[in-house]
Amino acid sequence: MKNLTLKDIALALGLSITTVSKALKDYPDVSAKTKEKVKAYAEKVNFTPNAYAAFLRTQESKMIGVVIPRLNHYFFSNVLRGIMHQAEANNYMVIVLSSEESYELEKKQVAKLVKQNVDGILISIADTTHNLEHINRVNELNIPLVFFDKYSKLSPSPSVIINDQQAAYMAVNHLIARGKKNIAHLRGPLLPQNSIDRFLGYRKAIEEKQLTYKKEWIFTCENISSDDGYRYTKHILEHHPEVDAIFAVADLPAIGAIKCLNEYEIAIPEQMAVMGFSNWGISALTTPALSTVNQPGEEMGASAFDLFLAEKERLRKGENSNVENIELATDLVIREST
C-alpha cells in the first residue's frame, strides 16, 4: 500500500489540503468536529506525516544530534535524560552517537548528523580532540552547536559547563580542612579543558595553603578508569608513602584507589583520604562510601537543549550569534572516604 498524503485524506473527506493539515496540527481556526473527523480518518488509514516533505516545507527536521564521549557513563546518561526530557517537551527526536573518546570518530559522527539535516548538535568533545575544523564547519553551515561538559575555549560556540577549577579547589580545600597535607592528584588527559581546570584548581588550593606541590604526585589517567586509579594508588603506596590523600579527576579512578587501599589494608580516611568527582551512583556504594563533587547532569542536558533553541531562534531571525556560556553550580557530597 502506498504512503498516503494530505491530498489523499483531503479527497476522501471532501476537505481542502490546508484544512486537513491544520486539523492534524490542532490549529484553533478549525472546528473541533472537523479535527475529530480528520484525526479519526488519519488513524484509521495509519497516516504518518512525511518527515522529508515537512523538512522541505519548513526547513526543520525536528531532529537534534547529540555526540557524547562514552555511552556506558553514568554522568552522560544523566545529561541525556535532561536532553530527552526537553526534546520530548518540544516535539524533537534525538539522535545519540558516541565518539568513544576518539577525535577521528567524533569528526565522522558530526558529519553524519549534518547529512541527516539535524536542526542542531549538542556535543561533549573527546579527550583526544585537538582540532576544531569539524566544529567550525558546523558553525559555517549555520547549524546551532552547543558544547556541554567538555568544551574548547578555541570555539565561539555556546556551552553549558561547571566551574571545574572552582569545584576542584573546593574539593582539595575539604581534604586540607581534614588535616591532609600531602595530596596526590589523579588527573585526566592533557587536552580537555575540564581536565586542565580540575588540575589548576587542585594546584591553586595546594599553593594557597603553602603545602607541598610535587610533580611526582601528579598521575595522568589516560582512560579515566578504575584500573588507572588502582595502578597509580599502588605506585603511590610503594614509592610515595608520605602521601595522605588522593584527589581524582573523576569517580572511577577514585573507586580504583579505594579498591587498592582496601587490599593493602590502608585505613580510609585515617591513613589515606580519597575524593572523587562527578557523583556517580556507584560512589555511594563503595566501602567506604566515596566523597565527591556533585555534577548536575540532568540540569546540564536540559540547559544545553534550551540553549540550542535560543541559538536556533537567533539564526532564524538573522541575528548574530550571542555566545552564551552557562555555568552551573556544584556542591560537595561528603561521605566516609574523607
**What's the rounded Cα separation, in Å, for the pair 110 and 8?**
38
Segment 93-128, tens digit of pLDDT: 999 999 999 999 999 999 999 999 899 999 999 999
The CATH classification number of 164-294 equals 3.40.50.2300
Q: Is the pLDDT assigned to residue 57 strictly greater than 80?
A: no
Instruction: Please determine, looking at this structure, whether the domain spanning 61-162+297-330 carries the CATH number 3.40.50.2300.
Output: yes
Backbone angles phi, psi at 254, to 5 degrees: -65, -40
The model's pTM: 0.81
Question: Please, what is the end-to-end C-alpha distance for the chain in angstroms?
Answer: 66
Q: Which three cell numbers stand for residue 310?
A: 535560543
Domain boundaries, the chain: 6-49, 61-162+297-330, 164-294
Q: pLDDT of 9-51, one tens digit each?
A: 888 889 988 888 888 878 888 899 999 998 888 888 887 766 5
The DSSP annotation for 224-240 comes to --HHHHHHHHHHHHHH-
Higher pLDDT pick, 153 / 231: 231
- The mean pLDDT of 187-203, rounded to a whole number, is 93
61-162+297-330 matches 164-294 in fold: yes
The 3-state secondary structure of 114-142 reads HHCCCCEEEECCCCCCCCCHHHHHHHHCC
Strand 120-123 to 63-68 pairing: parallel
Pairing of strands 292-294, 120-123: unpaired
> What are the strands, taking DSSP E only, across 204-333?
218-220, 245-248, 273-275, 292-294, 325-328, 331-333
